[in-house]
Chains A and B, each alone.
Chain A
Amino acid sequence: MTTQTLDALDRLESEAIHIFREVAGEFDRPVILFSGGKDSTVLLHLAVKAFWPAPVPFPLLHVDTGHNLDEVIEFRDRTVERYGLRLVVASVQDFIDDGRLEERPDGTRNPLQTVPLLDSITSNKFDAVFGGGRRDEERARAKERIFSLRNSFGQWEPRRQRPELWNLYNGRHRAGEHVRVFPLSNWTELDVWRYIQRENIDLPSIYYAHQREVFQRDGMWLTAGPWFGPNADETVEELTVRYRTVGDGSCTGAIRSDAADIEAVIAEVSASRLTERGATRADDRLSEAAMEDRKREGYF
């Protein structure tokens, strides 16, 4: 038994736990968005801490683009099993198969996630949806509240956000509306990695350097595979790479890296001159306001 003084990571952890407990106290049907990526894995770790020794009182929701790397799906299923949680899957493939969504000409499925996400929120009557979004990711995200009200169309209205005062969160909403909740709002990418190190959190293996068959497209290294390519004019090479974010395989790139363990990853992230999204997410390069526009549509 010990007494400890709070450091910056302790404060971020305590704040996130506080947010989880507020939602559990005020909402009827919360759900945690879980992609198997590092942010949502940290999110789940914090939820486990918030309700220990009782189990996490929320299910997980995975919006599955159908173009995921095998390692990520394997990790997702292993994690669900480990914590004894319920997993809800919203499948982009189902929506394409029955004609509710149309495959894009560029093959990217990330923007297609919004419709299955909102459909799942509506049909399951989820009223609070936890996401691993951080304000340091992007300029539009810097404007996001921790409790972010979405209208009955799931839309974010940046000009009509509620002021957020002290640590008193207002979760009131009308029927049909829901609230997106971002417990990692005040974390930076480096905070997340340092926390993963401190808490010894298990991640999908693709976050660490490994040999992979990749090909280059638009300056990014994409995994060769049945959905992604290569096209006839693209050449597959076997390189040592790792991923900085987990997303749809068609638009999320790997980076050349020898960082095979957590210490090496932290050193690499500390020294990097590129943001994680700028380095590896094609969908954020589409326009100056790509993220803002997608959030307005209901994206997370």
Chain B
Amino acid sequence: MSDLLRLATAGSVDDGKSTLVGRLLYDTKSVLADTLDAVHRASVDKGLSTPDLSLLVDGLRSEREQGITIDVAYRYFATPKRSFVLADTPGHVQYTRNTVTGASTAQLAVLLVDARKGVLEQTRRHAAVLALLGVPQLVLAVNKIDLVDYDEGIFEVIAKEFTDHATALGYPIGSVLSIPVSALVGDNVVDRSAHTPWYSGPTLLEHLENVPVEPDPHHVPFRFPVQYVIRTNTAEHTDYRGYAGLVAAGTVTKGDEIVVLPAGLRTTVARIDTHDGELDEAEAGRSVTLVLADEIDISRGDLIAAAVDAPAVTDEFDATLAWLSEKALKPGARVLVKHGASTVQAIVADLHARFDEQKLSTVATPDALQLNEIGQVTIRTAEPLPVDDYSVNRRTGAFLVIDAADGSTLAAGLVGAGLSALETDPSCTGGGNAAVSPGP
């Protein structure tokens, strides 16, 4: 079992996300005395009788002034079983942008709903975005359960509605869990609540500690973006030439036959080097340096891949974009695409469809893509790229869209992933989405 879990929160404003995160930190004793003193002082200054745990996480001056979370923050806590990296995302207006940012690296997402309000459109929209981004595990925290008198019936209705929605998005039954919690009081967050005898499942923390999460997919073929060429010529290392990078997917073993893309040249792995010595095998997530059997021309931006099952090399591909910029996307826009360690010029040739957030359905051939909108496009690149489908490979199927003029990040790109995953309106054709499942 992995001893490190990366998770993200999602939910709308005032669902109590900051309080829940504060409660997790507080009840796992991850908050130290001087930090807590500061929260107590600030709570008293605000005229509160109990400490406002959201103050533990809302770190910017303007966040504390307005009582809202402005930007994604990262929190760290640990129990004897696991370490956690938590992306604490705001639920405010710019929801998609922040959910996408938090979810891109998450292995699990905690979605909050207010027990008094139940599953909202925002909840379904967030779940759809999480499914699109391939977050493998979902938790629905039904918060403020104390405000509905710990009513089992209310919880069951919300849990069922959400589970049905997640299943329609492609989540297998075992990957979705609903938990009745009160972040304010502390019910079922870290400590089991005496108020919910009807709930037999784990507390939120117990689930986070025990949920099985494949650290990285092993069944997918080997992928290795070349980041940097290490060359040196010393008495100890004569004419050393190694290709440095992080194994993006699969496993590489000494002696494996590989192909270097986009050129298509083949050779074998002579050595897998690290500062700590040679390895026989390196799995996804490890930074290593590969020394190859033959001298071939390789530079930053190339992709080393398993010779059998190499990705397609193409200068035109379909993709889904989550648009993150105030500058709208118009078809024909010239941009930069960063894929792996490669940055190339590109044109967003066609804008086929846009996800309608109100109806949770798609709109064909829109004029533009605005901030926080998700759309389906065709991208043409100046140089061919070796791309995988995002639903198969979360690393080599992902790319950034960058503004060539000012360098800003315009969009999160997902190769090939269809918008059909987002079409969950019951009035649309039913059952057509089941084929899209959260990627590895």
* A-to-B contact residues, CB < 8 Å: 1-8, 10-11, 13-15, 17-18, 21-22, 24-25, 48-55, 135-136, 138-143, 149, 158-159, 161-168, 170, 172-174, 185-186, 188, 190-191, 272-275, 278-279, 288-289, 292-293
In the assembled complex, B70 has its CB within 8 A of some CB on chain A: yes
Q: Are A143 and B59 in contact (CB under 8 A)?
A: yes
Against A, the Cβ 8 Å flags (1 = close, 0 = not) of B245-282 are 11000000010000000000000000001111111110
Is B73 a contact of A14 with CB atoms below 8 Å?
no
B150 within 8 A of A: no
Residues of chain A lying within 8 A (CB to CB) of residue B57: 139, 142
Can you list 16 residue pairs at the A/B interface with Cβ under 8 Å?
A6-B286, A15-B246, A18-B227, A51-B230, A52-B274, A54-B240, A135-B74, A140-B59, A142-B75, A161-B71, A165-B398, A168-B339, A168-B400, A170-B407, A278-B32, A288-B61
List the A residue with the shortest CB-CB distance to B216.
A6
Given the known A-B contacts A14-B285, A48-B275, A158-B70, are A139 and B59 also in contact in the complex, defined by CB atoms under 8 Å? yes
Expressed in whole angstroms, the Cα–Cα distance for A155 and B228 within the complex equals 30
- A54-B232, A166-B398, A168-B339 given; 16 more Cβ-contact pairs under 8 Å: A1-B254, A8-B3, A53-B237, A136-B76, A142-B73, A163-B324, A165-B101, A165-B400, A167-B395, A170-B338, A172-B406, A185-B74, A188-B76, A288-B38, A289-B61, A292-B60
Q: Which of A4, A17, A166, A173 contacts B105 (CB 8 A)?
A: A166
Total interface residues in chain B, CB < 8 Å = 79
Nearest A-chain residue to B394, judged by Cβ? A166
Once bound together, how far apart are the Cα atoms of A172 and B401, in whole Å?
12
- List, in ascending order, chain B residues with CB within 8 A of A17's CB: 246, 287
Contact of A173 with B76 at beta-carbon distance under 8 Å, contacts A21-B228, A21-B244, A168-B399 already known: no
Complex Cα distance, B28 from A188, in Å, reads: 15
> Is A164 touching B101 in the complex (CB atoms < 8 A)?
yes
Nearest to B277 among chain A residues (CB) is: A1
Chain A nearest CB: distance from B325 CB in Å?
Answer: 10
Assuming the contacts A14-B246, A53-B234, A288-B38, asked whether A5 and B283 have C-beta atoms less than 8 A apart, the reply is: yes
Q: Are A21 and B227 in contact (CB under 8 A)?
A: yes
Least Cβ–Cβ distance between A255 and chain B, in angstroms: 13
Report whether A21 and B283 are in contact in the complex, using a CB–CB cutoff of 8 Å. Answer: no
How far does the Cβ of B69 sit from chain A's closest Cβ, in whole Å? 10
Q: Is the CB of A165 within 8 A of B76?
A: no
What is the bound-complex CA distance between A14 and B232, given in angstroms?
22
Do A143 and B407 touch across chains, with their CB atoms under 8 A apart? no
Pair B394/A49 contact, Cβ less than 8 Å: no
